[in-house]
Structure 1
Amino acid sequence: MMMGEGVEWGLHCCTVLAWLDDHAPIATARLAEIFELPPEYLKKRLQPLVREGILDSTPGARGGYRLARAPERITLMDVVSAVEGRTEAFRCTEIRRRGAGATRAATEFAKPCGIARAMGRAELAWRRELAAQTVADLMAAAPSNASAHTRSFYEHVTA
């Protein structure tokens, strides 16, 4: 499975916004500058997070983004689902009913095949793992100077 760069961007932005929580909303241009990303493209990547209630967006000259809820209430799965959608990664098209299987009785296909079951279990495990980790966990796992480094860089680019 391959996720788009929007997931990485979204998670990093959520982490930075959590570290800068005592500041006013952070403008897209400032977030983009922290990571050297194109501002307009970043803005498009953050909009699904706003729609899903992960970020709040304030329009205007003093506007920008803030976390809409506490970092411990934003799971990695929340961000992945917002950016990538909720569609399952594996889609069984029942190819076993075609070709040689086309003449078999429908009762032979009453249960999902082993491939569909295995893929379903794997995806469930993946989703559970992402749902068990939060932005607060990412913050806790970051190097001890990451928050201070982010704060000083932010303060430098806004000075």
Structure 2
Amino acid sequence: MTACTAQLAQHFDLPPAYLAKQLARLVRAGVLSGTTGPRGGFRLGRPPAQITVLDVVEAIDGPGNPYQCREIRRQGRGALPPQECSERCALAVAMDAAHAAWQGSLRSVSVAELIESLPAEIPERNRRLLTLGAGSD
């Protein structure tokens, strides 16, 4: 089943321009495939078992670690001398470990698993409502 940006925006009550930007990112990452034209729309770019939650998150937010160490230990009146800052600070090390654990957790869950965890009526309800929306445009 394919759904167009307008249908999806209306279905999820999102601004169409915002959703179009996110969908374009997902297409570039191969999570979705898109087709243009009157019968165009979006569908998964790979089988759901081959798409991880991390694939989706990184397609939207990028692959980088959101924590950026500011090296405040080198600033101000209490600044440490450079030779005492040759190793990364303890907070940066802890944040890197947390980010790696978060990535591992999201990498271990597929879109197929998310779908399987939903009550059976939810995917069918969404398909039905999106199909109805397609006919009403």
Alpha-carbon offset, residue 146 of structure 1: 0.8
* CA distance in structure 2 between the aligned counterparts of 1:36 and 1:148, rounded to whole angstroms: 19
Q: For each residue in 1:63-106, what CA deviation from the matched residue of structure 2 results, as whole angstroms up to 9, or x when unmatched?
A: 1111110111111111111111122111112221223235x2x3
Partner of 2:35 in structure 1?
Answer: 58
Query: Structure 2 residue aligned with 1:114, among 64, 86, 90?
Result: 90
- Pairs within 5 Å for 1:79-94: 79-94=56-71
2:118 is the counterpart of 1:142: yes
Alpha-carbon offset, residue 58 of structure 1: 0.8
* CA distance in structure 1 between the aligned counterparts of 2:15 and 2:70, rounded to whole angstroms: 38
Give the total of aligned pairs: 134
* CA distance in structure 1 between the aligned counterparts of 2:9 and 2:120, rounded to whole angstroms: 23
Gaps in structure 2 of 5+ consecutive residues: none
Partner of 2:9 in structure 1?
Answer: 32
SS of equivalent to 1:139: helix
TM-score (norm 1): 0.77
Alpha-carbon offset, residue 139 of structure 1: 0.1
Q: Do 2:3 and 2:130's aligned partners in 1 also have CA atoms closer than 8 Å?
A: no
Partner of 1:16 in structure 2?
Answer: none
Query: Structure 2 residue aligned with 1:153, among 121, 125, 129?
Result: 129
What RMSD over aligned residues (CA atoms) do the two structures have, in Å?
1.6
- State, as a whole percentage, how many aligned pairs show the same letter: 40
Runs (4+) of structure 1 exceeding 6 A deviation are: none
TM-score (norm 2): 0.88
SS of equivalent to 1:101: coil
